[in-house]
């Protein structure tokens, strides 16, 4: 378990260092680059404080309805507050920010926490449609509805997917979930497909050449940046093509790494996320083995939350999926994101630390005394 924790820590630290470095490279020409960089570093520091705090605390304290309710209600309040005109900040065509703070990032953590608590608490009833689907829908839907109306469709879809994964892992029947999923799709798809932005992005994905100057521009420039990088990249700070990518310091940070550090850099990012995936899954399994469902679900939820974001982000910037705004955890610029992600990693390590004793049987340092004089011949 110790090795797992160390591998996890090394991966996360490596990503954070890579993030700081590539963000500097990406931001150094921006007009307010230094202020952005400073804010990011402050956020990283706050994130490490949260990380240490969570890693030190026993995560089982959170396995209480009061905590779950508090986290849930706080998130709900923030999500409502962000929609109030004058309180929330309208930027880039969406109302997602309270000043520089993004409640939908908190909502990701809140979904994981409340689902973990709920599913651990009502484990035995999850098999029924009433508890497994309807009750959970009642919990999740208000959050999703609020995020959807910001509008932040990408995060909504992502959270629906994450909920699905968590419920499956928690033991909800897959056929019931499929039913619920189809119902959700039936409601969401027409809405999404009528959205002009989604239409444009899908069209751009299908016919990138035709939309190179608008909807496919970002993706195309990202491909150029990746291509410029080659195997070893152009070197730190030497990226040129990446500067033409809109949002190259947030969602499209990977092309920056791709251009400046080459394939070596990008593959290191992928290995880092893969190791987070395996470490997280191993921690979750350990917690499950020690009989702690809350720990199991929490660890699994956190792992998939991080890994799925990374998976979709990398898929989007490499043009496997159509364009949708999702940050690359630990790497993209975004204060709330990095604080929440580091805090969640803290919780993951807390799970690992506090289930260790239960998983491994205590090894006695002394050899057990055996009265049988023929003991050594027995085996």
**Residue 150 near another protein by CB under 8 A:** no
Number of neighbours of residue 305 by Cβ within 10 angstroms: 24
Site for another protein in 60-89 (CB under 8 A): none
93 binds another protein, rule: CB under 8 A: yes
Q: How far apart are CA 218 and CA 87, in angstroms?
A: 31
- Least distance in Å: CB of 103 to another protein? 20
Is 246 a residue that touches another protein (CB under 8 A)? no
* Shortest distance, position 308 Cβ to another protein, whole Å: 7
Is residue 12 involved in binding another protein (CB under 8 A)?
A: no
Q: Does residue number 200 form part of the binding site for another protein (CB under 8 A)? A: no
Q: Is 148 in the site for another protein (CB under 8 A)?
A: no
Spatial separation of the C-alpha atoms in residues 338 and 332, rounded to whole Å = 8
Are 55 and 346 a contacting pair, CB within 8 Å? yes
Q: Are 335 and 98 in contact (CB under 8 A)?
A: no
Instruction: Pick one of 79, 133, 143, 300: the residue that binds another protein (CB under 8 A).
Output: 300
Q: Applying CB under 8 A, does 145 fall inside the site for another protein?
A: no
Residue placing its CB nearer to another protein in the complex, 25 or 337: 25
Of positions 14, 171, 181, 322, contacts another protein by CB under 8 A = 171
Listed ranges 42-50, 145-153, 186-194, 310-318: which one lies at the site for another protein (CB under 8 A): 310-318
Q: How far is the CB of 139 from another protein (least distance, A)?
A: 19
Of 142 and 325, the one with the shorter C-beta distance to another protein is 325
Binding residue for another protein, selected from 84, 191, 210, 238, defined by CB under 8 A: 238
Query: Alpha-carbon dihedral of residues 169, 313, 275, 1, nearest 10 degrees?
Result: -50
Is 118 among the residues that bind another protein (CB under 8 A)? no
Location of structure tokens 């190791």: 275
Tokens standing for residue 109: 């953590």
* Token representation of residue 169: 């892992």
142 or 208: CB nearest another protein:
208
Q: What gap in Å lies between CA 233 and CA 259, rounded to an integer?
A: 5
Of 47, 50, 258, 327, the one binding another protein by CB under 8 A: 258
Per-residue DSSP letter, 98: B
- CA dist 177 and 165 (Å) reads 10
Tell me the residue length of the chain: 379
Q: Does 341 bind another protein (CB under 8 A)?
A: no
Q: Judged by CB under 8 A, which stretch of 4-12, 24-32, 332-340, 351-359 contacts another protein?
A: 24-32
Selected from 50, 103, 132, 288, the binder of another protein by CB under 8 A is 288
85 or 373, CB closer to another protein? 85
Burial class (CB in 10 A: 0-12, 13-18, 19+), 295: buried
Residue 158 within binding range of another protein, rule CB under 8 A = no
How does 251-278 read in b/e, with b if 16+ C-beta sit within 10 Å? Answer: bbbbbbbbbbbbeebbebbeebbebbbb
Residue-wise burial string across 313-352, b where 16 or more C-beta atoms lie within 10 A, e elsewhere: bbebbbbeebbbbbbbbbbbbbbbbbbbbbbbbbbbbbbb
Q: Using the 8-state DSSP alphabet, how is residue 134 labeled? A: I
Q: Is 199 in the site for another protein (CB under 8 A)?
A: no
* Residue 207 in contact with another protein, rule: CB under 8 A: no
Report the nearest approach of another protein to the CB of residue 281 (Å).
4
The first and second tokens of residue 373, run together, are 């004089």
- Is residue 224 a contact residue for another protein (CB under 8 A)? yes
Q: Applying CB under 8 A, which part among 53-61, 74-82, 130-138, 169-177 lies near another protein?
A: 169-177
Count of other CB atoms within 10 angstroms of residue 22: 30
Tokens 């924790």 correspond to what residue? Answer: 5
Binding site for another protein (CB under 8 A): 25, 28-29, 90, 93, 123, 165, 168-171, 220-221, 223-224, 226-231, 236-238, 240-241, 243-244, 258, 262-263, 266-267, 270, 273-274, 277-278, 281, 284-285, 288, 291, 293, 296, 300, 304, 307-308, 311, 314-315, 318-320
């Amino acid at each position: 378990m110790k090795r797992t924790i160390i591998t996890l820590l090394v991966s996360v630290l490596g990503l954070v260092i890579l993030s700081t470095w590539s963000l500097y490279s990406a931001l150094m020409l921006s007009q307010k680059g230094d202020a952005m960089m400073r804010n990011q570093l402050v956020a990283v520091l706050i994130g490490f404080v949260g990380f240490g705090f969570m890693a030190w605390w026993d995560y089982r304290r959170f396995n209480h309805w009061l905590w779950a309710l508090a986290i849930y209600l706080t998130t709900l309040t923030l999500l409502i507050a962000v929609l109030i005109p004058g309180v929330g900040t309208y930027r880039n065509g969406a109302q997602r920010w309270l000043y520089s703070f993004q409640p939908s990032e908190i909502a990701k953590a809140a979904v994981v926490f409340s689902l973990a608590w709920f599913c651990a608490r009502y484990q035995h009833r999850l098999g029924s449609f009433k508890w497994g689907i309807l009750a959970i829908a009642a919990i999740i839907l208000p959050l999703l509805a609020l995020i959807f109306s910001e509008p932040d469709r990408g995060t909504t879809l992502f959270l629906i997917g994450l909920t699905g994964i968590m419920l499956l892992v928690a033991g909800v029947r897959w056929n019931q979930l499929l039913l619920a999923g189809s119902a959700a799709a039936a409601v969401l798809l027409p809405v999404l497909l009528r959205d002009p932005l989604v239409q444009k992005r899908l069209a751009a994905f299908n016919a990138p050449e035709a939309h190179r100057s608008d909807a496919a521009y970002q993706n195309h420039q990202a491909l150029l940046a990746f291509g410029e990088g080659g195997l070893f990249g152009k070197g730190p700070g030497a990226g040129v093509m990446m500067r033409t990518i809109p949002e190259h310091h947030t969602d499209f940070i990977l092309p920056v790494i791709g251009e400046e550090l080459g394939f070596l850099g990008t593959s290191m990012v992928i290995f880092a996320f893969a190791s987070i995936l395996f470490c997280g899954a191993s921690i979750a399994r350990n917690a499950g083995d020690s009989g702690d469902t809350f720990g199991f679900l929490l660890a699994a939820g956190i792992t998939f939350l991080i890994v799925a974001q990374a998976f979709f982000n990398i898929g989007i910037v490499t043009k496997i999926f159509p364009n949708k705004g999702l940050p690359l955890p630990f790497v993209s610029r975004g204060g709330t994101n990095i604080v929440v992600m580091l805090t969640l990693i803290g919780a993951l390590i807390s799970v690992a630390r506090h289930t260790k004793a239960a998983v491994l049987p205590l090894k006695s340092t002394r050899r057990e005394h055996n009265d049988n004089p023929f003991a050594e011949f027995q085996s």
